[in-house]
Structure 1
Amino acid sequence: MDLVLEEIDSLLTDYMYGDDGALGGLLAAGPASLRRLLAIRAGRAEPGWDMAEIMRRDRDDYRRPASLQIHLADAFPDTFFDEVAEDPAHEPMVMETLQYLKDQRALPFLERQLLSRCPEYRRQALRGLAVNGTADHTEAIAACLADPEVRSEALNTLARLGDARAVGPLLREHTADDSSFARRAGVALDQVEQRIGEPLAPPLWRELGPVTFTAATVGLGVPWNVAEVLVEPGQPVRAGELMATLSNDAIDQELIADWPGTVTEVRIAVGDEIPEKAVVLVVNCRRRIG
């Protein structure tokens, strides 16, 4: 092994064992660092580290290797895509990186893996399409709403792309039932319509009446302190909008609107101390039905 490769392997090992400062040396070594990392991760070269030990340190067996791959691919994208194109065996391994690279060369890989039998590759493909996709991908992404293993990522990707053709599928999901997923589909629908400027047709609504928001019980008997209040009576809120933040010695709690509506009552102010289960906000909500 030549001296440069020995130095790269030493830096790789240092990084894997927690030395973030080794990243500077790997970047300075140029694309050879990325090629070496890819070869090791593909099993074509022996690593200088014990993956079992990294798992014990990180509690995540791929956090250090994956984070380094993202850094190096971002620094040397031409090398990254050349290496992957030359060796199809790299493709599954690099999917975790493509969601962090804004580069149109990622699209063929993302499009193929969107059809993968592996749910995690499909999820990674959807996250990558949220960064690199176009309106041309809307139909394929919307079809993923029927896949329970990836539909959450499909919602997020459709919201990010903001194509008008997503309105119909998102509206169907939103009006299907009262589930958490339906509510999230409504948030995504709202984001798409904001991006295209307005609803395609005047929406239809059903009034749900007042919804109360309380300081949830955490079993400690510790009062909540109000950290932030973002709404006032008479203010309209969107589904998914943060309205207030409470905190105590154990946890923070966010009060988020489940449905769109109008705030009718605010009983708290920043600095207030309130008991558990106390009503702190009331919102007159409505649900989109068409």
Structure 2
Amino acid sequence: MKERGEEKGHRFVLKYRQRQQPSSWTIEIDARELKNVETIERPNTRHKDDTKHNKRRKWTKLEVFKKKMAGGPLYLTEEIPGGKIEGAVKITRNRLGQFHMHIPIATPWDRLPPLKPENKRKVVALDPGVRTFQTSYSPQEGVGEYAKGERGFARLFNLCWRIDEIISERKDPKVKLPYLDRRDLKRQQYACMEKIRGLTNELHKKVANDLCRRFDTILLPEFKSQDMVKKNNNGRRRVIRKKTARTLLTLRHYAFRTFLASKVLLHGSELAIVTEEYTSKTCGRCGHIKDNLGGAEVYKCQKCGFKCGRDVNGARNVLLKHLRQPKSV
């Protein structure tokens, strides 16, 4: 009778299942299992020997009555906002060993700010891009730019280059690194990725809050980044370069759109999604379509001589197009 194992010259080689703990996981907790929530003060344990940072700070203490989480209470660095908790509470651990608690809280409709009168409404049209994250055009406020040029994305680009260096060092066929060195490089790569995500989240929050505070109607075009970065999209070759495609994926325009859609409800504003066909190629004065626009930063009409910034012309055309083809979220 043949025994279990893999034959290799001798009788057999017994293999064992890998028992390495997963780097990330998620635990779901029912809202009824959260008890004894209170705010306390504790010293900052991350800087024990540093008197400058070793200050007492406020923590949110809560207890979880769950068999899977037997032990002491949990301490949160942020206060839990008031409101009814809907759904399950999740505790996640990312690849860097950081823990986060996700608490879904419903905002009552009576707490939402009312819409402003029609005669005082302000409208703004946005044009997302690569050189500039968002270019805004408003008949009342004029032109605005958010995170323009390489200076605005300097930290993101530096982190992307650092990730490339780490990947090249890890996968160099000429040098075989020990396991501990490869693990450290992998952790450095994950840390850079988390920093990029944090910077983009901060950018999305600042831009969305500024737009919702200043304007009542926000027009955003359908910016399909996934279709732009595909190398073969229904038989059509990709026209943008690798660096441009990477910048598009790093900025996460669709994540900004979903975040903005949730923010407008809290500020009493409105968000409308507009189709973006020919908004960059169409002249904002005479309506002539310029097919050979390419990657020019300045739009110059060949018919009437109108000269304007490419992104500004696109944002203005988004506003004009919304007057004919609105599509509300």
With the shorter chain as reference, the TM-score category is under 0.3
| Greater Rg over alpha carbons, structure | 2
Which has the bigger relative contact order, CA under 8 A and spacing at least 6? 2
More helix by share: 1
More strand by share: 2
TM superposition score normalised by structure 1 = 0.20
